[in-house]
A and B are shown apart, each in its own frame.
Chain A
Amino acid sequence: MRHDHLITTKQLSRTDIGTVLDRAAEIDADPAAFADRHAGTLLGLLFFEPSTRTKMSFETAMKRLGGDVVDMGSVESSSVKKGESLADTVRVIEGYVDGLVLRHPRQGSAKMSGEYVDVPLLNAGDGAGHHPTQTLLDLYTIRENAGLDDLTIGIMGDLKYGRTVHSLAHALTNFDARQHFISPESLKLPRSVRYDLHEEGASVREHTDLEAVLPDLDVLYVTRIQRERFPDENEYRAIAGEYQIDAETLSAAKEDLTVMHPLPRVDEIAADVDDTDHATYFEQAHNGVPVRMALLDLLLGDSE
């Protein structure tokens, strides 16, 4: 794998993905072997949006590789508050660290930042754009539970603004995957993602309800329908109820259906699903550490 930055899953080949997932599996099997591998390496965390899982898993991953992190802290306490441009911020911080992780509310922020820095930059979410490291841990989880070829996957929820969905959809075009997208009309995949999937010749179907497609699925990837996207609270309530699942809903699914969610969830997956064999979202979240360790190991150099 040879990339300067990880901005989008569109830049990843099937081989690249395999390299990361295989390295993550090695780390999972023997974490101690990687404990001092990047001693002295410093990673800069630039989170312009709130984040718990992504930020903490990057921090954990770097520390478990023997390195350390520096964190710009909250936007309120940073130079951004003084009006500094993002381009200037990343150019300054690049001089302090060996790699950068950026989360920013603006789409395209990671791509632009990558044009200004030479150290590896990892996109940890750019608005409604992309979230490639989430996708790599999603793929790792899917590979562990259902395999990545001959896969029928349903992706349900806010497909329009869901960056994890966009990144996953692009990445799955590398595999023999049939993708079913389930959402309200108003939250369908954006035109740009549909364009890319069409160009890639991906097998894609779009639906407004889960019922018809559920029995065929190997994986159901659920995302949150965001209340703030709807101007009218009643409209949100009417729609959101259609995209909630519980244990009873899943009685129509295959026994080995894997249910995933990038978290945090609100009420789209009922708590009674947690007790079923379908629930994989906590395992998915835990996979963030070995997968991000693998990525850092591969991108920050000196890897074998």
Chain B
Amino acid sequence: MSDHELRVSKIRSGTVIDHIPGGQALNVLAILDIDGSGGEEVSIGMNVPSDRLGRKDIVKVEGRELSQDEVDVLSLIAPDATINIVRDYDVVDKHRLERPSHVSGVLECPNRNCISTDDEPIDSKFEVLPDGVRCEYCETIIREDIPDHIRSA
């Protein structure tokens, strides 16, 4: 175990999200709907030196495994992240994120005139592009600041 990894304490059971782009850890917490008020046990490393990314963030969440929806959205802001599932201090599963072709119900369209922002019985739907996302209703493309459009943020 390297000195860098030791900066963030080990967890007993839960999820370690590694190789997050430097500075995005708080957005990852927003995606997971974690703001501290729920009493979750969370460790965060920010701007830790990384061979692969230069600087990276690490988020460790005790007692929580991620849903597919959460993983899908994570992939939009942290495409190189790895997800480690930990049980009894052992990593039992480790995988890279895969970008989905679509995400539904997790982002909010920034176009105030889009039908998906109205009071209709639909979820938002976004097509995932190589360099952003695109609303499937009004076709607005978001390339920058995707985390700002996360519904739970």
Q: Say yes or no: is B19 at the interface (Cβ < 8 Å to chain A).
A: no
Q: Say yes or no: is A109 at the interface (Cβ < 8 Å to chain B).
A: yes
Q: Say yes or no: is B90 at the interface (Cβ < 8 Å to chain A).
A: no
Chain B's closest residue to A85 (CB) is B120
> Given A85-B121, A107-B113, do A112 and B141 touch, yes or no (CB 8 Å)?
no
Which positions 91-129 of chain B face chain A at CB distance < 8 Å?
111, 113-116, 118-122, 129
Interface size class of A (residues with CB under 8 A): 20 to 34
Are B121 and A107 in contact, CB atoms less than 8 angstroms apart? no
- Which residues does chain A contribute within 8 Å of B9, judged by CB atoms? none
> Given A111-B137, A129-B138, do A106 and B115 touch, yes or no (CB 8 Å)?
yes
Are A112 and B111 in contact, CB atoms less than 8 angstroms apart? no
For B, the interface residue count at a CB cutoff of 8 angstroms equals: 19
Which positions 119-141 of chain A face chain B at CB distance < 8 Å?
126-129
Give the CA-CA distance A106 to B140 in the complex, in Å. 13
Say which residue of A87, A111, A128, A191 sits within 8 Å of B141 (CB atoms): A191
Are A112 and B122 in contact, CB atoms less than 8 angstroms apart? yes
> Given A87-B120, A87-B121, A87-B122, do A107 and B137 touch, yes or no (CB 8 Å)?
yes
Chain B's closest residue to A196 (CB) is B139
Give the CA-CA distance A127 to B109 in the complex, in Å. 15
- Tell me the smallest distance from the CB of A111 to a CB of chain B, in Å: 6
Q: Measuring CB to CB, which residues of chain A are less than 8 angstroms from any residue of chain B? A: 85-87, 104-109, 111-112, 115, 126-129, 190-192, 195
Q: Measuring CB to CB, which residues of chain B are less than 8 angstroms from any residue of chain A? A: 111, 113-116, 118-122, 129, 134-141
